[in-house]
Amino acid sequence: MIELALQSFEPKMPQPTSTAIMVIGGAEDKVHGRNILHSFFERSGGEDARIAILPCASREPAVIGERYHTIFTEMGAKAIEVLNIYDRAQCDDVALQEYVANCTGVFMTGGDQLRLCGLLSDTPIMEIVRSRVQAGAVTLAGTSAGAAVMGHHMIAGGGSGESPNHSLVDMTYGLGLIPEVIVDQHFHNRNRMARLMSAIAAHPDRLGIGIDEDTCALFEGDDILQVLGKGTVTIIDPGEMTYTNQTEIGATDPLCMCNLRVHLLSHGSCYDLRKRITIAPGHK
């Protein structure tokens, strides 16, 4: 059942203070400072925010949706709806489309990224979200599975604790909200460096983004990625890679990748996506 009760719209909709795409590595602080979630709340308009929560990656969407509903209510948001989509046909619902078209913040929860893409990819709901994100008209956040779906290519699963190899990562298509990146989450917490390197070896035209728990890679309209939170964001840049054996080896053979650039960024650090250079805290 769709948890949606459209409220009357004011003649003039409040606008976000500063829109962005917030890619969260999972397990963000939901109890104490809630710094990352509070940043999403403020960028969505603060007390004037109209927030859409998409919990459909979870197998318990009602539970996880209600948890975030409570958090944003406690912060002061007056308009929050949990869009509990459990069937693709629901994305044709005009009421849901209207709310997504007029909200100021969209939050995609964790769970299973394959489930999330299966329900939302190539639907009217996601097309509305994508067009509004591209226009800078809404703040979008995704945590864990909601982060994994951001790129055109998506890590669907895989292993850890091995040398980088083809069999270590399962790839499919994501939602294409930030098409130039491949995102991995719970990154150092679950030892996923080799997994992301294996994904980048197969797609060397993309940029690898590995995000730790309680950490956010914040993408703004000026092509700058900013790091928020307690952990790190790892950037894997294959742009100057001189050699890889990825087309010459079997599924379990170790990969060779020469001249791969790796950056490790913490809170306050930035990365210029266009120039592919890092910007340390306190520097322009």
Separation of alpha carbons 217 and 117, rounded Å: 21
Sequence-separated (6 or more) residues with CB below 8 Å from residue 94: none
Phi first, then psi: what are they for 26, rounded to 5°?
100, 165
> CA angle, corner 197, sides to 193 and 203, nearest 5?
150
> Among residues 3, 42, 98, 162, which one is catalytic?
162
Catalytic residue (choose from 44, 58, 144, 198): 144
DSSP character at residue 257: E
Residue 244 in contact with residue 204, Cβ under 8 Å?
yes
Say whether 263 is catalytic. Answer: no
Query: Is 269 a known active-site residue?
Result: no
Find tokens 């930035």 and name the residue.
270
Active site residue 81: no
Give CA–CA dist 252/70, Å, rounded.
Answer: 46
Which one from 28, 186, 213, 269 is the annotated catalytic residue?
186
Secondary structure class of 244 (helix, strand, coil):
strand
Catalytic residues: 144, 162, 186
